[in-house]
Amino acid sequence: MAVISVINQKGGCGKTTTSVNLAAGMVKRGYRVLLADMDPQGHSTLGLGFNPDSLRQTVFDVIDAREQDVPLSTVTLEVASRLTLLPANVFLSAFEQSMSGKAWRESRLAKALFKVKNQYDHIIIDCPPSLGLLTVNALLASTHVIVPVDSGFYSLSGVKKLRETVEMLKAKVHHDLDIKHVITFYDHKSSFNKDFMNDLKKFSGQNNFFRTKIRRSIKFNSSQRLGKSVIELGSKRCGVAFRDYCGLTQEVIDWTKSVQNFRISFLRAGNKTAVRSRMVRSINLSYKGYGRDVRLAGVFNNWQPAPMNKNQDGSWVSAMELDPGQYEYKFVVDGNWITDPDNERVEVKNNIINSVLVVK
């Protein structure tokens, strides 16, 4: 059994499309598959025909720290014969804050999946477009990683950053992961695509790619609107989109065949050995102005305003743990969104200005 995370911190590069169609491809080949949606946007959940907003319980309830663990089986949805979904919705965006300072927060998902490992042949995890705590949970639960790479301008830098995180995890928790890239949105007529491919292969190595490239096709959009995979809709309706994901499924099955069981981090998670990201920094953000209710919203909490704590001197403070990087944010003071007078600012678009926190 293999646990495969589909990861790239860039949005829109085909993570969800790959997760949903790979899951469907494996089901078609007779395997029992659990698709775990780890993105608060709930796109895999939506893509399989469920309305994320109407769900009472999601993956968040399973991995959130509570007095009594919520069993995974009370949350999962049976999508079709042999295909089970662990759904997500926007509540999952509270995970990072809810787990702040708690031990074993990086291995909550691994622990939950460990308990159901015998019920599935493959587990596929659709990750959010960030490298925060949710993605670290996915990585520690995984045996394999698939990185969808579109040939957009920023992809290569994203792949480099991801590589660093995976290397860090390997070193810190001895968690070994097999990684392969899959090219998405491929257009063989574009010379830009060819140049990009050459750069990427130089950087990542020839053997780290699937032979199958996922070509650009409008069928992905239309299948999504129907809440179905292109695999279910079939070759007559979906042509190259269907064929490409069948090809990828075959390669992934061959690639993961040798994995007999969960790797060591699962056992560690089961035994409650703490793992901690080496890169994480403790950050205090403070607001010194006047306000009765002061909140903090930023990319680190998906722009969901979270209450700040009031100090005795009247200032407001939020403690966070963040990986090195740049984070846009704003304070919400008595309902008004304002920038931080004590920090750098950036104009995002059309007069929208955010503050920028740099974590070194």
Ligand X SMILES: Nc1ncnc2c1ncn2[C@@H]1O[C@H](COP(=O)(O)OP(=O)(O)O)[C@@H](O)[C@H]1O
Binding site for Mg ion (CB under 5 A): 15-16, 43
Residues between 110 and 149 that touch ligand X (CB under 6 A):
129
Using alpha carbons only, how large is the chain's radius of gyration in Å? Answer: 21
Listed residue (98, 19, 2) closest to 302, CA to CA: 98
Q: Which C-beta is closer to ligand X: that of 185 or that of 287? A: 185
Residue 330 binding: pick among ligand X, Mg ion, none (C-beta 5-8 Å cut-off by kind): none
Exposure of 330 by Cβ count < 10 A (0-12 exposed, 13-18 middle, 19+ buried)? buried
Q: How far is the CB of 16 from Mg ion (least distance, A)?
A: 3
Q: Which of 2, 3, 4, 13 binds ligand X (CB under 6 A)?
A: 13
Could you say whether residue 185 binds ligand X (CB under 6 A)?
yes
CB-side neighbour CA atoms (13 Å) of 97:
19
Residue type, 163: R
Could you say whether residue 307 binds ligand X (CB under 6 A)?
no
Q: Which C-beta is closer to ligand X: that of 98 or that of 250? A: 250
Asked if 62 contacts 112 with a C-beta cutoff of 8 angstroms, the reply is yes
CA dihedral 216→228→3→136, nearest 10 degrees, is 70
Count of chain residues binding ligand X (CB under 6 A) = 17
Q: Which of 9, 16, 89, 204 binds ligand X (CB under 6 A)?
A: 16
3-state helix, strand, coil in the chain (%, to 5): 40, 25, 35
Residue type, 78: E
Residue 29 binding: pick among ligand X, Mg ion, none (C-beta 5-8 Å cut-off by kind): none
Q: Which C-beta is closer to Mg ion: that of 89 or that of 354? A: 89
Region from 11-19, 271-279, 311-319, 327-335 binding ligand X, contact rule CB under 6 A: 11-19
Q: Which of 15, 105, 175, 330 binds ligand X (CB under 6 A)?
A: 15
Q: Which two tokens stand for residue 88?
A: 């997500």
Q: Which of 17, 143, 193, 249 binds ligand X (CB under 6 A)?
A: 17
Residues between 198 and 237 that touch ligand X (CB under 6 A):
214, 216-217, 220-221, 224
CB-side neighbour CA atoms (13 Å) of 169:
29
Residue 13 binding: pick among Mg ion, ligand X, none (C-beta 5-8 Å cut-off by kind): ligand X
Cα distances (angstroms) measured from residue 258 to each of 153, 173, 178, 255: 35, 22, 12, 7
Q: How far is the CB of 92 from Mg ion (least distance, A)?
A: 13
Interface residues with ligand X (CB under 6 A)?
A: 11-17, 43, 129, 184-185, 214, 216-217, 220-221, 224
